[in-house]
Amino acid sequence: MWSRIRKLTTPNAVDTFKDKKLDIWLFNTSLSASTDDHIKLLSDDEQRRLTQFKHEENRHQFVVTRSMLRQLLGKKLGCSPSIIKFSYTKTGRPVISYPTTSLRFSVSHCSDITLYALAENTPIGIDIERDDKHIDPLAIAETVFCRREYECLESCDQILRNKMFYRIWTIKESVLKMLGTGFSMDPRSFCVDQVLNGENIINLQSKINTESLEKAKIIELEIDDQHTATLALAYS
């Protein structure tokens, strides 16, 4: 399965995070078969979850993405992938409970592509979306974007509007993952206009500061013409 995954070049913008040992991996799940060896890497709880999937496509994706996550973490931690244990926060965020480690991770998948981000001693979030030219960006943005973001989108022509929508969306979702809240927190609680104006740091208001974070450093990743991806790292 290692032939189906590649390590992405770490963007220059994260040079200040070299001590965090950041790794970003891209995995093509469509090229990997879900075998018994992969299933054996999963915990009893994960194997029980596997039986709940009604469609083979979803079952396959769960097996290959979770077994690859375990292999990446095992390689980073220097242990067998099968002994890694996860616990879950109240918002459903998985964290490594065994072995004891400062390693954090974030996973995002879209269609046949899964992105993994691993870093030490810093909250991290990653998101990837496949660009859909048939959506109505303004209709969606009206419910999940703050006013300044909506106005930015409204001022764009149709082609640029779609691209801008996914830029804003992936930034928001990666930050929410980094904070560990997911969409239990209103995505309109913060605005990404600093990034859109050329800055790559978002100031987080204290009222949404769930992990004593002051800022999120935003890294926009280059995947291909069909996908938009963003990485968020804690920056205080």
Residue 182 belongs to domain with CATH number: 3.90.470.20
Residue 24 is predicted with a pLDDT of 94
Do 47 and 145 reside in the same domain of the chain? no
Do 100 and 174 reside in the same domain of the chain? no
Q: Which DSSP category does 114 fall into?
A: E
Give the confidence band of 111 by pLDDT, cuts at 50, 70, 90: confident
Residue that finishes a domain, picked among 122, 156, 177: 122
Residue 140 is predicted with a pLDDT of 95
Distance in angstroms (rounded) separating the CA atoms of residues 31 and 54: 21
Helical segments of the chain, H only: 36-40, 44-50, 56-77, 137-144, 147-154, 158-179, 193-196
Residue 108 is predicted with a pLDDT of 96
Do 113 and 157 reside in the same domain of the chain? no
How confident is the model over 55-74, as a mean pLDDT?
91
Q: Which residue has the higher pLDDT, 34 or 196?
A: 196
Do 109 and 217 reside in the same domain of the chain? no
Residue 215 is predicted with a pLDDT of 83
How confident is the model over 130-143, as a mean pLDDT?
92
Which of 77, 92, 85 minimizes the C-alpha distance to 45? Answer: 85
Do 25 and 107 reside in the same domain of the chain? yes
Residue 31 is predicted with a pLDDT of 67
Q: What is the mean pLDDT of the chain?
A: 87
Q: Which residue has the higher pLDDT, 37 or 1?
A: 37
Residue 4 is predicted with a pLDDT of 75
How confident is the model over 72-92, as a mean pLDDT?
93
Residue that finishes a domain, picked among 90, 122, 154: 122
- Per the structure, the complete domain to which residue 79 belongs is given by 2-122
Residue 128 is predicted with a pLDDT of 97
| Weakest-pLDDT range from 111-120, 142-151, 170-179, 214-223 | 214-223
Residue 211 is predicted with a pLDDT of 57
Provide the domain count of the chain: 2
Residue 134 is predicted with a pLDDT of 87
Which of 33, 31, 32, 27 minimizes the C-alpha distance to 5? Answer: 27
Residue that finishes a domain, picked among 122, 145, 166: 122
| Weakest-pLDDT range from 11-25, 45-59, 91-105 | 11-25
Non-local (6+) Cβ contacts of 15 within 8 A are none
Do 102 and 17 reside in the same domain of the chain? yes
Residue 32 is predicted with a pLDDT of 73
Query: Torsions phi, psi of 136, nearest 5?
Result: -105, 95
How confident is the model over 203-227, as a mean pLDDT?
76
Q: What is the pTM of this model?
A: 0.91
How confident is the model over 164-178, as a mean pLDDT?
94
User: Is pLDDT of 144 > 90?
Assistant: yes
Do 8 and 115 reside in the same domain of the chain? yes
Do 6 and 117 reside in the same domain of the chain? yes
